[in-house]
């Protein structure tokens, strides 16, 4: 497993990467020399052609996106291995890849307002509920157009982190 593709948000190009050795790699077919050290489990020091880059990575297995922080700037990129690409081909045609859009509580708090009910259609950006935590009221918005399947909590109830608040479809 040494071949990968990446697509960085804000660019249309799909890059190909091949890790050919401990200090050599091919980036879009061009050889680059690198050196690397993991400073912590998700912080990496990488030297590309002797230039320093320190990055932190949060990788999401489900959609194969990495959120990377380089010099306090955030980049989002999709990184897939050869194996991922093969798996993807297999699932296409099976109609797989149903998107989960359920709303979970990002932190413990109190539901100050519940703006939707089961069966309701909501538009992207619409405020679904208001969660009060850390002394601030936080508006939780719909990330896409969808229909409310089920509402699991009432206004003024307190919720734990990761509690399923609203099921969407």
Partner 1 sequence: MFKKILIANRGEIAIRIITTAKEMGIQTVAVYSDFDRYSLFTKLADEAYHIGESPSSKSYLLADRIIETAKKCGAEAIHPGYGFLSERGFFAKMCKDNGIKFIGPGHEAIDLLGSKTEAKLLAIKNEVPVVPGTEKPLTDFSLINKIAKDIGYPVLIKASAGGGGKGMRVVNEEADLESSLRTAQSEAKSSFGDDSVFIEKYIESPRHIEIQVLADEHGNVVHLGERECSMQRRHQKIIEETPSVIIDEKLRNEMGECAKRIVKAAGYSNAGTVEFIVDKDNKFYFLEVNTRLQVEHPITELRTGLDLVREQLKIASGEKLSLKQEDITFTGHTIECRICAEDSLNNFMPSTGKITFMNKFLGNGMREDTGILEGDEISVYYDPMISKLVAHDSTREEAIAKMKRALKEYRIEGIKTNIPFLLQLLDCKEFIDGNYHTQFIEKEFLKREPEKLTEDKDTLAALSIAASLFKKNKSAGIFNNNHVSNFNNNHKANNHTPSNWVKKRAENFR
Does the protein bind partner 1 through residue 112 (CB under 8 A)? yes
Does the protein bind partner 1 through residue 20 (CB under 8 A)? no
Does the protein bind partner 1 through residue 115 (CB under 8 A)? no
* Cα–Cα distance, 149 to 161 (Å, whole number): 21
Nearest to 111 by CA among 141, 133, 131: 131
List the one residue from 20, 38, 85, 91 that touches partner 1 (CB under 8 A): 38
| Minimum CB distance to partner 1 smaller for 81 or for 120 | 81
* Cα–Cα distance, 129 to 153 (Å, whole number): 10
Phi-psi region of 143 (alpha: psi -120 to 50; beta: other; left: phi over 0): alpha
Does the protein bind partner 1 through residue 139 (CB under 8 A)? yes
Does the protein bind partner 1 through residue 155 (CB under 8 A)? no
Shortest Cβ 93–partner 1 spacing (Å): 25
- CA dist list (Å): 31 to 4, 20, 136: 15, 9, 50
Buried b (16+ CB within 10 A) or exposed e, 10-38: eeeeeeebeeeeeeebeeeeeeeebeeee
Encoded one letter per residue, x for contact with partner 1 by CB under 8 A and - for no contact, window 84-103 reads --------------------
Q: Which residues form the interface with partner 1 (CB under 8 A)?
A: 1-2, 4, 6, 8-11, 15, 17, 19, 25, 27, 32, 34, 36, 38-44, 46, 48-49, 51, 53-62, 66-75, 77, 79, 81, 83, 104, 106-109, 112, 132-141, 160-162
């Amino acid at each position: 497993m040494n071949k990968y593709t990446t697509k960085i948000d804000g660019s249309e190009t799909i890059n190909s990467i091949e890790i050919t050795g401990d200090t050599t790699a091919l980036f879009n077919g061009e050889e680059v020399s690198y050196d690397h050290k993991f400073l912590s489990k998700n912080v990496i020091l990488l030297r590309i052609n002797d230039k320093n880059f320190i990055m932190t990575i949060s990788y999401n297995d489900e959609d194969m996106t990495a959120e990377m922080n380089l010099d306090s700037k955030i980049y989002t990129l999709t990184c897939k291995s050869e194996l991922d690409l093969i798996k993807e081909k297999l699932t296409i045609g099976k109609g797989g890849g149903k998107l989960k859009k359920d709303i979970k509580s990002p932190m413990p708090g109190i539901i100050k307002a519940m703006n939707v009910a089961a069966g309701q259609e909501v538009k992207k950006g619409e405020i679904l509920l208001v969660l009060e935590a850390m002394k601030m009221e936080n508006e939780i918005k719909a990330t896409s157009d969808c229909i409310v399947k089920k509402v699991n909590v009432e206004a003024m109830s307190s919720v734990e982190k990761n509690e399923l608040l609203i099921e969407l479809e």
